[in-house]
Structure 1
Amino acid sequence: MPADLAVIGLGHLGLPLAQAAAHSGIATIGYDPVRAPELASGRLPGDGAEGTLTAADVRRMLAGGFRPTTDPAELGRVRTAVICAPTPQAADRTLDLSHVAEAARALAARLRPHTTVILESPAYPGTTEEFLRPLLEEGSGLRAGRDFHLAHSPGRLDPGNRTHGYAATPKVIGGLTPACTESAAAFYGRLTDKVVRARGPREAETVHLLETNYRHVNMALVNEMAVFCHDLGIDLWDVIRCAETKPFGFQAFRPGPGVGGHGTALDVPSPAHGTRPLRLVELAQQVNDRMPGYVIQRAAALLNEHGKSARGARVLLLGVTYKPDVSDQQGAPAQEIAVRLMQLGAAVSYHDPYVAHWNVLGHPVPRADSLYDVAAEADLTILLQHHRTYDLQGLAVKAQLLLDTRGATPAGAAHRL
C-alpha cells in the first residue's frame, strides 16, 4: 500500500517523527531492519532509544495506520523520505555515517522522480551535499535538485519536554535549491507550527553544530565553576539562583555528573575540510569528560570523612538515564561512574523507575526494589538523575550519606556537587 512518508531509522529521532506524522493523518511507514519487528508487534525495543514514547503510544500509532517494515521495497512508494539513521561517535570522536550510508543505498535503489528526501540525522556541515547526495544520485540515476528534492533539517526534539513538543518546536529547513527547500517546508508545515528556511543544507547542518556545542560549552563552564566553588567553600547553587534573576545576558545552566544524550559535542573534521578545530569545543569536552571522575573523587572523600573506605562500601546510584523522566541511557555518565566505583572495590546497586535492568561491564547491577530500605543500608547514595518520582526530602532523611550531583535536594539536606 502506498504511503505519503517513509521514516528511515526508528530511533530517538525517527519514532517521534513517525508519531507526529501519524497523528497528523499522514500515511507513514517506518523502515528499520533492526527495530521494526518489535514495533510492529506493539512493543518497544529494549535499547530505550525511543525517548519518551511508550508501548501504548506505539499501539496507538499502529491503530492509526503506521506501518513499521523491514522491506526496503516499501521505500519506492512514498512522496517524502526522511533519513533519521543514527550517527554515533566513533572512537576518534568523529561521527560514524555508516548507518546514513546504508539508509541512502536502500532508498536510492528505489528512489522515484519528484520524491522529497530529507536528512535529519546529526551531520557535519557539507554531509547532505558531499556525502548523501552522491550516494542517492549514483544509486538511482537521478539528479538532486532536478529529478528529486534534497534537504537537511536538524533534529531538535527534546525528550521529556512537556512544553515544547513536536508541533511547538520550529523546524529549520535547508534545501539544495529553493524548490527543494519549499518542498521540505511544505511537508514539515503539516507537522509543526513554524518552519524556518535556511539559505541551504550547510547552514541547516551548522544550526545543529551551533545548538549542540552551545549546550556543551555552557555546561562545561558551570561544571568547572562547580569544582572551583567547592574548593573555595562557595555554594554554587545559590550563585546560580541569584545570577538567573538577571533579565538579560545570562541563561542558567547547572552542573552535573557528566553530559549525556544523543547531541554529543561536535568538532569540525579539520584536515580533510581545510578548517581548524573549534578550540572552545575541545576544551569544553575535556572539562565535561572529567566530571564522572570528579564525582568519584567527591564520593571517596565523603566516605573517608565518615571513616569508611570506597573498597567494600555499599553505594546506591539513583537515576541512570541521561535525562529526567526518560528511559534513554545514551551517553549517561552513570555507566562510567559505576565502572570507576567497581574498580575501587565498591558494591554498587541502582534504582531508576525507567530502567528495569541495567548492565555494567557485561554484568547485571542489582536493582533496589525497596528504595528507602536500600538507601538506609547503603554507605553512600549518589543522585545522578533527578526523576520526578523521587522524594528527595525523604531520601535525605533515610540515606546515611547522600551526594546530590544535580542540586535538587533542599538546601542543607545533602552534600551537593
Structure 2
Amino acid sequence: MTGSIMVPQGGPEEEVTVPDHQGEATDAGGTRRYDLAVIGLGYVGMPLAKEACASGLRVVGVDVDPAKIESLNAGRSYIDDLTDADLDAMLGSGFTATADDSVIARSEAVVICVPTPLDEDHRPDLSAVRGASAAVARNLTSGSLVVLESTTWPGTTDEVVRPILEQSGLKAGADFHLAFSPERIDPGNPKFGLSNTPKVVGGYTDTCRDRASAFYARFVERVVPVSGTREAEMAKLLENTYRHVNIALVNEMAIFCDELGIDLWEAIEAAATKPFGFQKFLPGPGVGGHCIPVDPSYLSYTVRKLGYPFRFVELAQEINERMPSYVVNRVQRLLNRERKAVNGSRVLLLGVTYKPDIADERETPAVPVARVLRELGAELVFADPYVSSWAVDGVPVPREEDLAVAVESADVTVLLQQHAAFDLSVVEDRARLVLDTRGVLAEAVHIERL
C-alpha cells in the first residue's frame, strides 16, 4: 500500500541489508533486522502490527506478558479485531512476539503502544510508558524512528519520553527521530480500521515528523502532519473529550426527561433529521472502554497544572460516573411497582462488555451497576455471548446460557449492551420487567427505557 503522503526519510544512511533464503532481511553478519518493533501487544499494538505486516514490513512485537507472547506465537488471538486467520498470516510473513527487548536494536522504527491508565486518584499513570521508553533507550541506535502512540497529556513525548531516550547518549532530532501519533483504534468497527483512518503525526522536529509520516504512509491511506508533538497529543484528547462531554449531556437529559415525562429517545431521533449543526449522541448506563472514561482526565490533569480546573470535563465525568447508580435507581423503581424489593430479587444483566459485539470489558459500566445491585442484596446473573465468565470485585457472577430461560426466570432484566446475537423479541415477549438502557426495545407496559 502506498499512502497519500510520501516524504524523504531523514537521518544517517541506513545499514545495508541482504535477504536470506526465506526473504528475511539480515545485516552483513547474518543478524535479522526488522522494519518495525511494536512495544505493547494489545488492542492498539496488534492492529498496527497486522497492517504493517500486510504491507510487507518485517515486524516484531515486544511485550512483558508471557501469556500474550505464548498465545500470539501459537497463533491464538486475544484481540477482537484480529482473528486467528489474521494472526496466521502475520506469522507466515515472519511476525514474532518476544519479551526480549534487544530486538529493538535491530529495528528501523519502534512504536510504543502501551496502556496509559489512571491511578486510584484519577491521575495519569505513565509507568508503562516510562518502562517502554527505558527499554528503547537501552537498545536505541542512530537513525532510528521512535513513535509514541499511547494516549497521554500534551508534553509527554517531549518532557517524559525524550529525556529517557536521550539517556542512551543519542539526541532526538539529531541522532534519532522522535514523534507522537495518537492511536485511533475503534474495536469492533466494521467500517474504519487502522489503514483507512487518517493518521495524525507530530514530530519533535520537522524532520522527525517527515520521517514518521513516511513510515505510516507505507500502510495508512492518509497521513495528517501537524506542527509538533503537543498538537498531536492534544488532538487525541480533544476527540475523546468532545465525545465525553456530549455523552454526559444526553445522560443528564435522560434523567430529567424521565421526570418530565418526555421521550428523549424520540426527541434525539427527531433532532438527528437536521442535516447540519447536530450530531446524534445517545444516553446509556455509563461510559466504558479504553478512551472515554480515561482520556479526558489526562486533559483535566494538564489544565490543573496551570492552576485552575477544567470544569467541562470534570462535570461530564461526574455525570457519566453517576449513571450506573441511576440505572440501579430505575431498577428499584421497576421492582417497587411490582411490590418487590431489590433484596432477594433475581436481576439479569444482558451484555457486560463496554461495546456491542465485542469481548472487551475494559471500564465497562456493567461492573459498577452490578456492584451496587449486589450491595442491595440482589441475586445477580448475566448473559453475554462474548464473555464466558465474569466476576465483580473477585466474586463470580453466574452465567445464563439460554436467553429465554434467563429472562423468564429473572424478576427484572437490565439490557446494558445490545449485542446482535441477542434475540430482542425474546426479551420483549418473555421478560417480566425490563430496563432498556440502550433504547432498542419496543415500548410496553413491562419495558422502560432509560
SS in 1 for 2:61: strand
- Residue 384 (str. 1) matches residue 413 (str. 2): no
Q: Distance in 2 between matches of 1:410 and 1:60?
A: 44
Q: Distance in 1 between matches of 2:53 and 2:434?
A: 45
Aligned to 2:224: 196
- Residue 297 (str. 1) matches residue 326 (str. 2): no
Q: Which runs of structure 2 are paired with 1:2-401 in the superposition (5 Å)?
A: 2-34=33-65, 35-45=68-78, 50-138=79-167, 140-263=168-291, 264=294, 265-266=296-297, 267-270=299-302, 273-274=305-306, 276-401=308-433
What amino acid sits opposite 1:200 in the alignment? G
How many pairs were matched up? 412
Query: Is the contact made by 1:270 and 1:276 (CA closer than 8 Å) also made in structure 2?
Result: no
Cα displacement (A) at 1:271: 8.0
Cα displacement (A) at 1:52: 2.8
TM-score calculated relative to the size of structure 1: 0.96
Aligned to 2:12: none
Query: Is the contact made by 1:213 and 1:281 (CA closer than 8 Å) also made in structure 2?
Result: yes
Cα displacement (A) at 1:374: 1.2
SS in 2 for 1:109: helix
What amino acid sits opposite 1:165 in the alignment? G
Query: Is the contact made by 2:418 and 2:440 (CA closer than 8 Å) also made in structure 1?
Result: yes
Q: Distance in 2 between matches of 1:378 and 1:274?
A: 51
Cα displacement (A) at 1:364: 1.6
Q: Distance in 2 between matches of 1:270 and 1:216?
A: 17
Report the RMSD for the aligned CA atoms in angstroms: 1.3
- Residue 405 (str. 1) matches residue 437 (str. 2): yes
Cα displacement (A) at 1:414: 2.4
Q: Distance in 2 between matches of 1:98 and 1:271?
A: 21
Q: Distance in 1 between matches of 2:56 and 2:206?
A: 27
Q: Distance in 2 between matches of 1:166 and 1:304?
A: 48
Query: Is the contact made by 2:154 and 2:302 (CA closer than 8 Å) also made in structure 1?
Result: no
What amino acid sits opposite 1:42 in the alignment? G
SS in 1 for 2:34: coil
Query: Is the contact made by 2:300 and 2:313 (CA closer than 8 Å) also made in structure 1?
Result: no
Q: Distance in 2 between matches of 1:160 and 1:257?
A: 20
1:50-104 per-position Cα deviation (integer Å, ceiling 9, x unaligned): 3432334323322232111111111110111000010111112121000011101
Query: Is the contact made by 2:153 and 2:302 (CA closer than 8 Å) also made in structure 1?
Result: no
Query: Is the contact made by 2:49 and 2:61 (CA closer than 8 Å) also made in structure 1?
Result: yes
Q: Which runs of 5+ in 1 are unaligned?
A: none
Q: Distance in 2 between matches of 1:272 and 1:115?
A: 35
Query: Is the contact made by 1:167 and 1:192 (CA closer than 8 Å) also made in structure 2?
Result: yes
Q: Distance in 1 between matches of 2:250 and 2:437?
A: 12
Change (3 A) 1:272 1:77: farther
Q: Which runs of 5+ in 2 are unaligned?
A: 1-31
Q: Distance in 2 between matches of 1:387 and 1:53?
A: 19
Q: Distance in 2 between matches of 1:385 and 1:23?
A: 33
Query: Is the contact made by 1:402 and 1:415 (CA closer than 8 Å) also made in structure 2?
Result: yes
SS in 1 for 2:329: helix
SS in 1 for 2:121: coil
Aligned to 1:415: 448
What amino acid sits opposite 1:11 in the alignment? G
1:226-254 per-position Cα deviation (integer Å, ceiling 9, x unaligned): 00110111100000010000111110000
SS in 2 for 1:125: coil
Query: Is the contact made by 2:177 and 2:208 (CA closer than 8 Å) also made in structure 1?
Result: yes
SS in 1 for 2:139: coil
Q: Distance in 2 between matches of 1:398 and 1:23?
A: 47
Cα displacement (A) at 1:359: 1.0
Query: Is the contact made by 1:299 and 1:403 (CA closer than 8 Å) also made in structure 2?
Result: yes
CA radius of gyration, larger in:
2
TM-score calculated relative to the size of structure 2: 0.89
Q: Distance in 2 between matches of 1:304 and 1:33?
A: 50
Query: Is the contact made by 1:269 and 1:275 (CA closer than 8 Å) also made in structure 2?
Result: no
What amino acid sits opposite 2:47 in the alignment? P
Change (3 A) 1:270 1:121: closer
What amino acid sits opposite 1:89 in the alignment? L
Q: Give % identity.
A: 50
Query: Is the contact made by 2:332 and 2:341 (CA closer than 8 Å) also made in structure 1?
Result: yes
Q: Distance in 2 between matches of 1:354 and 1:175?
A: 39
Query: Is the contact made by 1:31 and 1:70 (CA closer than 8 Å) also made in structure 2?
Result: yes
